[in-house]
A and B are shown apart, each in its own frame.
Chain A
Amino acid sequence: MIGHGNNTVAGPWNFSVSAGGLNVMRGPNGCGKSTFARTLLNLIPPLSGRIRWNIRPHCRWVPQQLPLTEDYPVSVFDIVELGMWDTPDSGSPLWGLRPGKSQDKPAKQVVLEMLSRVGLEGMENRRIARLSGGEQRRALIARALVADANCIVLDEPMNGVDQEGRESLGKLVTDLAENSEILFLVITHDADWIPVQPRCYLDLSATGEVSLEPSS
């Protein structure tokens, strides 16, 4: 069961997905998709039950939008570079005080390579909050990729993206998902933009029930 505080948003659910490839969770607005994403990423605790991983999860997420106003002095380079630094919970009292870098190469090289991979070459010095919706989403995908994660959750990636941007962003997401071992979980109310058949669809109904539809 998932929700906030005493408010149950959806559930109970019982389903499993296998690692790797593109998985899509679809459902109408307000049915609990984003709450599910936050619960999956351990940003909020489940109200009951638990999420069991057969791999050691190292998740990143691409939110609908960053909590930054337009005048925030944060460049595209800053956002992607900050994604490189993380530390697993070691249980030590000093945990979190010296995060390690997820890549061995110099940070600048890794960031510039990743920006080029997501089609943001030459935009590293632009302010993140002044980019278009599609460009911001690409920068956030680059941030997730530099972390060397094995699970990337994209929350409504097409929100605020124009038609032209939808096509190229959809192609980028599916290309990345098909050519890597990373589990991509795309959460969307409208899956028409996905140009390929995903590995599976998780359908959420307005009443919060879930059904799993593996692709053939």
Chain B
Amino acid sequence: MSSLLEAWELSTGLFRDGFFALLVAAFVLPAIGTLLVLRRMPFVAVAVPGIAGSGVAFAYFIWPAIFAMAYETLDPPHTFFQNLCAFLFLALGLYWLSSRSSRERIESGAALLFVISLALSEILLLDSIYDEFSHRWLHHGHVLSILEDGRNRVIATCLILATVSIYYRRELWLTAIDREQAALSGLPERRWLLIHLSLAGIASGMIVPEIGPQAVLGLLLIPATISFPAARSLSGYAWTCSMIGVISTLLTFWLSIVRDWPISPALLVVLAIVSLIHRGIKQQFWSSSPSA
């Protein structure tokens, strides 16, 4: 009990900005992930944060070369510059993905981009002048040291994404699950695919430099994939995944403070466990319910 209280005090005190940034991201990103899984594009959820991560690695690589004269210290690149590089890489990657002719080809392209961006990140980081700590920072994010402006950036991005997703939820759902019906309803497939990819791209481009590609990937993919067979309606699916994200974040902070685990890997494990528990409970409940 005391460890819970201690974790809560630290989360809402010393690590307040990071805690609230991750909490809001954990509410919004799983709902966006459900759209990717409904579209049968789970690998896009893996690739997009990876591409953004390689953009950030590129920022680490190029920053000293450009600004070496202006900055004498080896501070990490300015966040705006990291966002800019992440968006540049995402724009190229998503444009290429959206030009592919079918969902299967988009998925195979996403897998290819993920592998390439992973390798590129490693090479760029090894060739940069930053130390091991910065490399870990890049992979895992720096949730515990997020400052007020980083928190505001994450929350503002999440608010915009949530507003767009809620406003256009029917269009996003319909184009994801039934393209022929969407075409008959006057919803052009390519336009909505681009909007869809852009949502994931904006989420990754803005949030990856703060909480890291690993956490973004986990939040987009894990609840949406594991809870998929345990939901019965589209809105229920999205809400459930958001709640799994929030509960997992609270547990992750507790574990991270009590056991001194790094936030991102801990979040991935907790997301998987909470999602599996939810799925097990739901399926147990359904098997005893004749109306399911």
Interaction A to B: yes
Chain A interfacial positions (CB closer than 8 Å to B): 38, 41-43, 59-61, 63, 66-68, 71-75, 77-78, 81-83, 85-89, 95-97, 99, 125-127, 130, 143, 147
Chain B residues, Cβ within 8 Å of A60: 184
* Contacts A43-B180, A75-B234; A125 near B170 (Cβ below 8 A): no
Interface size counted on chain B using CB atoms at 8 A? 30
A87 and B184 contact, CB distance less than 8 A = no
Bound-state Cα–Cα, A77 to B236, Å: 12
Q: Which residues of B are found within 8 Å of A83, using beta-carbon distances?
A: 181, 185
Q: Provide the residues of chain B in CB contact with A75, threshold 8 Å.
A: 232-234
Once the chains bind, are B184 and A67 in contact (CB under 8 Å)? no
Return the contact of B232 from the options A63, A97, A127, A147 (Cβ within 8 A).
A127
| Complex partner residue of B173 from A59, A78, A88, CB under 8 angstroms | A78
Give 12 new A-B contacts, CB below 8 A, not counting A63-B180, A71-B228: A38-B180, A43-B183, A67-B178, A75-B233, A78-B173, A85-B170, A86-B185, A95-B186, A97-B191, A126-B291, A130-B292, A143-B181
Q: Is the CB of B184 within 8 A of A43?
A: yes
Asked if A87 meets B186 with Cβ closer than 8 Å, knowing A82-B173, A125-B233, the reply is yes
Judge whether A87 and B234 touch: CB under 8 Å: no
**Main secondary structure on A side of the interface with B:** loop
Contact B180 A73 (CB under 8 A): no
Taking CB atoms and an 8 Å cut-off, the chain B residues in 155-195 that contact chain A are 170-171, 173-174, 177-181, 183-188, 191-192
- Beta-carbon contact of A85 and B184 below 8 Å: no
Q: A66-B178, A82-B181, A85-B174 are in contact. Are A73 and B236 (CB under 8 A)?
A: yes
- On whether A71 and B191 interact (CB within 8 A), knowing A41-B184, A82-B174, A87-B185, the answer reads no
A87 CB contacts on chain B under 8 angstroms:
185-187
Given A78-B173, A85-B171, A86-B186, verify A61-B233 contact (CB < 8 Å): no
Docked CA distance A85–B174 (Å): 9
Contact B183 A73 (CB under 8 A): no
Kindly provide the distance from the CB of B292 to the nearest chain A CB, expressed in whole angstroms: 8
Give the docked Cα–Cα distance between A99 and B180 (Å): 16
**B291-A73 in contact (CB<8A):** no
A contact residues around B234 at 8 Å (CB): 73-75, 78
Is B177 a contact partner of A68 (Cβ separation < 8 A)?
Answer: yes
Q: A180 to B170, alpha carbons, bound, how many Å?
A: 28
- Is B76 among interface residues, defined by CB-CB distance under 8 A? no
Q: With contacts A71-B228, A73-B232, A125-B232 known, is A88 near B186, CB below 8 A?
A: yes
A67 CB, nearest partner CB in chain B, Å: 6
Bound complex: CA of A198 vs CA of B206, how far in Å? 60
User: From residue A98, how far is it (CB to closest CB) to chain B in Å?
Assistant: 9
